């Protein structure tokens, strides 16, 4: 009898002393601005704005244009030659729907060291893209506050040579800069 109690107590001690992973998906989200996701079997986090040859952040890094175009670009923190771009077409910052797929959007996974003759040209096998106009792509804004957009994305991205990667667990949080342009939509002032 004492032996059985000793076995049960030992088993309980082992079970309850095992450390459980207490992290939740919300705890794994980077602080500040980022774009992250799983691309095929690889997970990437993009936190740095694109830089131009003057070493200043590129003006396309996180911009909302007055003619209904929002552009988000980020570089990979661990692989500086890799970047990501999200484009929202026919989208005005003040009227973006929450928790609904954006109707006109594009996702690009970019390799700045690609040996292709033209980015996204017919021989490009290292830059991936997907457009909601021609392929299933789901980009959703889940929160907007003080021009900071938080959202999710998923889909399948492809190279022009036919390679593909499934995109899952895509998330982003980016502060958008409003930029006034000469082109304006009469219905969105």
The pLDDT of residue 181: 57
Residue 9 included in any domain? no
**Residue 173 · residue 148 · CB < 8 Å:** yes
Q: Are strands 177-179 and 148-158 parallel, antiparallel or unpaired?
A: unpaired
Residue 166 included in any domain? yes
Range of the domain at 131: 26-179
Residue 142 pLDDT greater than 70, yes or no: yes
Confidence of residue 99 (pLDDT cuts 50, 70, 90): very high
What's the average model confidence in pLDDT over 122-146? 91
Total domains present in the chain: 1
Residue 13 included in any domain? no
pTM score of the predicted model: 0.74
Residue 6 included in any domain? no
Average pLDDT score over the chain: 77
9 membership: H or E segment, kind and range: helix 2-17
Residue 31 CB partners (closer than 8 Å, separation 6+): none
């Amino acid at each position: 009898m004492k032996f059985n109690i000793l076995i049960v107590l030992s088993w309980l001690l082992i079970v309850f002393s095992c450390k459980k992973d207490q992290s939740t998906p919300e705890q794994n989200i980077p602080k500040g601005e980022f774009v992250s996701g799983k691309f095929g079997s690889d997970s990437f986090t993009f936190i740095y704005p694109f830089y131009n040859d003057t070493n200043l952040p590129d003006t396309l890094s996180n911009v909302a244009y007055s003619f209904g175009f929002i552009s988000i670009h980020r570089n990979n923190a661990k692989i500086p030659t890799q970047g990501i771009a999200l484009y929202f077409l026919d989208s005005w910052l003040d009227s973006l729907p929450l928790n609904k797929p954006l109707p006109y959007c594009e996702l690009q996974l970019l390799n700045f060291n690609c040996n292709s003759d033209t980015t996204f040209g017919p021989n490009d096998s290292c830059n991936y893209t997907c457009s909601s106009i021609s392929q299933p792509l789901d980009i959703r804004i889940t929160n907007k506050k003080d021009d900071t957009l938080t959202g999710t994305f998923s889909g399948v991205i492809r190279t022009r040579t036919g390679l593909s990667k499934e995109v899952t667990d895509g998330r982003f949080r980016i502060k958008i800069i409003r930029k006034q342009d000469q082109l304006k939509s009469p219905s969105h002032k």
